[in-house]
Structure 1
Amino acid sequence: MTRFGDALTTGADLVNAAERAVLQALEQVDGLADLVCFFVSGTDPEEVTLAGAKVMELSGGAVTLGCSATGVLGGGRGVEGQGAVSVWAARLPEVELTPFRLDTVVEDEQLAVVGMREPGPNDRAGILLTNPYEFPTQAFVRETTAALDGLPLIGGMADGMRGEDSVRLFSDGEVVDNGAIGVLIGGEGVLGTVVSQGCRPVGPSMTVTKAEGNLLLELAGENAYEKLEELVEELSDEDRELAERGLHIGVAMDEYADQHEHGDFLIRSLVGADSELGGLTIGDMVEIGQTVRFQVRDAGTADEDFARRLTEFGAEHAVGAGLLFSCNGRGDGLFTRADHDVLAVRRILGAAPVAGFFAAGEIGPVSGVNHVHGFTACLLAFAP
């Protein structure tokens, strides 16, 4: 019996598209799914809600998990900016599934997250979908590696075509518009994760010698802003053009490595530069003593990085299916085609049932630590 199925349907009638997608996906597993994940994009939030409810209604006794999005992946293709429903169904008879829903409460004048299940001894990974407009995704994910005893989390931030008011989360028959939802997955059927940040380093690695929070003030004992200016002047014309479009900075994940090369960094955006202060503002906290290196990104680099990581993973594992969380800045915006990432997974890993969505921020582990990313492709792989 086939263990996995996926389908992507489009149409003006989003509820009808949802019905067709879930029935097609379930047919591939003889209607015996244990887990159904689905993703809905549409211009009308009410139609998105009804479409998600229809998928859950037709999923039988399966655990269901899904969200709204501005684009979806499945059936070997990607669709952005129009009405579409992607459904992924899995028959996992020996896998434990533990759904959870997270909310925030105020405790001692501080915001606390409640509802997270404690991982069991057989849990291999957790899928997490969040509403980024009102759930503290980055702060929560940052703490999960220690709190969940190293359990990898993978998933993404939901979105909608009308922004904040159009975000929907779907979990086990319920439609919610706040917090976060997810499921812990236990058993040998979960192979692991692939996270591709799609950048390559430029210039030398440098030690942070002065910093305050996410403000980088000195690199290798010199003014950080002036160091950046020196770097840009020394770049090739091609790399200088990429840097002008958007420069990133990589924070080394292993300070004890002899060298820090491609793939050794957690990539963060360079969000501001102040010539008077001499500082650089980056999209995360940085500490004195950490090693950083500037990074650039383009379609060729992103394609090469994803292909390399998939190939390395495939050399160690036979993959039967996957859930894919790709940044909404990838797809047509980066590769001029929405299906780039899903086709790469199918081509390199030979995994046909692959579904997911274009996220407003992706969740996945780097060097064993869970992080929220941007411009990233994150895959959760399952055994055939």
Structure 2
Amino acid sequence: MARFGDALATGADLVSAAERAVLEATRSLDAPADLVCFFVCGADPDEVTLAGRRVMELAGDAVTLGCSATGVVGAGRGMEEQGGVSVWAAQLPDVTLAPFRLDVIPEGDHLAVVGMHEPDSHDRAALLLVNPYEFPAQSFVERSTDALSGLPIVGGLADGMRGQDSVRLFCGGEVVDAGAVGLMLGGAGVVGTMVSQGCRPVGRAMVVTKAEGNVILELAGDSAYERLENLVNSLPPEEQELAANGLHIGIAMDEYADSHEHGDFLVRSVVGADPEEGSLTIGDMVEVGQTVRFQVRDYDSATADLVDRLQVFDEETGGRSSAALLFSCNSRGTAMFSTSDHDVRAVQQNLGVQSVGGFFAAGEIGPVAGRNHVHSLTACLLAFEN
């Protein structure tokens, strides 16, 4: 039977924190761990490296995977922008683990990603940790659904307290400062993945009738800008304020659905509006004929969506979850909620699990409507069972 443990140790001495976290996370296991995932937050990249190496040394023969971050999750709490190490350890007798490392190489006039395993019939998911400064995460993940025969990918974009030069990835005893690292996971012990985008729709769904790339020119036959302006003017004051502070747009994932409701959209930011051209620029490509719906996000909508997604996931998977890895956006935590613990506590309460490890990511990876995407402001999860 699978067993799980997790811990979060804080302090300026990251190596000491790493030692304490490994000891605590593995204490509840009755045999050596098969998988140890860990996440390190610290101001000094060299100390982060030493802490990561120490976790991998103490993990023995376990498969190890981890990264640097600006905040970590473990022991039922989140911690942001201070020194700490989160360790999640698991005995997984019914799960196969195949580590991989991805690199980018020139190939003709473009770049190619090498190192990805071909999935087999037993693989249930892939776990991916990325250096976003050195790896084309968006294009790789967007293409991965077709390239990997629909295999779901979940994970996050690593970061560091000093930005680009402080990112570290850890895999199998090695420290990597570029590319991506990950695991193929197979077998019945992998329950599945969940993504909470945290938005709620406003206004009605509309069909894109003219577009170029990521620029929407017309919605339902009229100027996209005018459609948005009319919508915002019709909203109550509190929702107008939310739209002014950060408007989003949902792209329907299934054009053949009878209706498009909450949870049916891939949410992207509205990044620009041009009243002269009547256009809206969004954070993804859009095609004529697709259905879209504007979205807003706040504390209440993010909380409600996370709880709803978790409850639906729990029902659909028969309540089998016993532990999870959690990847929350670094703009959630105290930037959105009253506490850094918000997302991890919601996972524990709604899935009835205790061992949850993870980090606050610079972008999250997870599937929506069967296709893998890189997200922002989301919470993505990979669940396991005993």
2:307 is matched with: 307
1:336 is matched with: 338
- Counterpart residue identity of residue 179, structure 1: G
User: Contact 1:73/1:357 (CA < 8 Å) preserved in 2?
Assistant: yes
Between 254-263 and 290-299, report the one with greater CA deviation: 254-263
Q: Residues 48-63 of structure 1: matches in 2 within 5 Å?
A: 48-63=48-63
- Indicate whether 1:4 and 2:1 are aligned: no
- Indicate whether 1:220 and 2:220 are aligned: yes
Task: Give the alignment partner of residue 361 of structure 1, picking from 360, 363, 376.
Answer: 363
Partners of 1:268 and 1:199 lie apart in 2 by 10
Partners of 1:71 and 1:115 lie apart in 2 by 28
Which structure 2 residue ranges, 5 or more long, are not aligned? none
1:345 is matched with: 347
- Indicate whether 1:23 and 2:27 are aligned: no
- Counterpart residue identity of residue 344, structure 1: A
Q: Deviations over 1:113-170 (max 9, x none)?
A: 0100001210000000000112100100000001100100000000001000000000
Partners of 1:24 and 1:243 lie apart in 2 by 44
Which structure 1 residue ranges, 5 or more long, are not aligned? none
- Counterpart residue identity of residue 219, structure 1: L
Task: Quote the offset at 1:2 in angstroms.
Answer: 6.4
Secondary structure of 1:318's partner?
coil
- Counterpart residue identity of residue 369, structure 2: S
- Indicate whether 1:116 and 2:119 are aligned: no
2:325 is matched with: 323
- Counterpart residue identity of residue 100, structure 2: F
1:171 is matched with: 171
Give % identity: 68
User: Contact 2:167/2:177 (CA < 8 Å) preserved in 1?
Assistant: yes
Structural RMSD (CA): 0.9
Q: Deviations over 1:212-269 (max 9, x none)?
A: 1111111111111111111110111111011011000000011111211111100001
Equivalent residues, number: 384
- Indicate whether 1:265 and 2:277 are aligned: no
- Counterpart residue identity of residue 54, structure 1: R
User: Contact 1:2/1:28 (CA < 8 Å) preserved in 2?
Assistant: no
Partners of 1:196 and 1:2 lie apart in 2 by 26
- Indicate whether 1:34 and 2:34 are aligned: yes
The TM-score with structure 1 as length reference comes to 0.99
Secondary structure of 1:134's partner?
coil
The TM-score with structure 2 as length reference comes to 0.98
Q: Deviations over 1:298-318 (max 9, x none)?
A: 011111111011112222222
Task: Quote the offset at 1:363 in angstroms.
Answer: 0.2
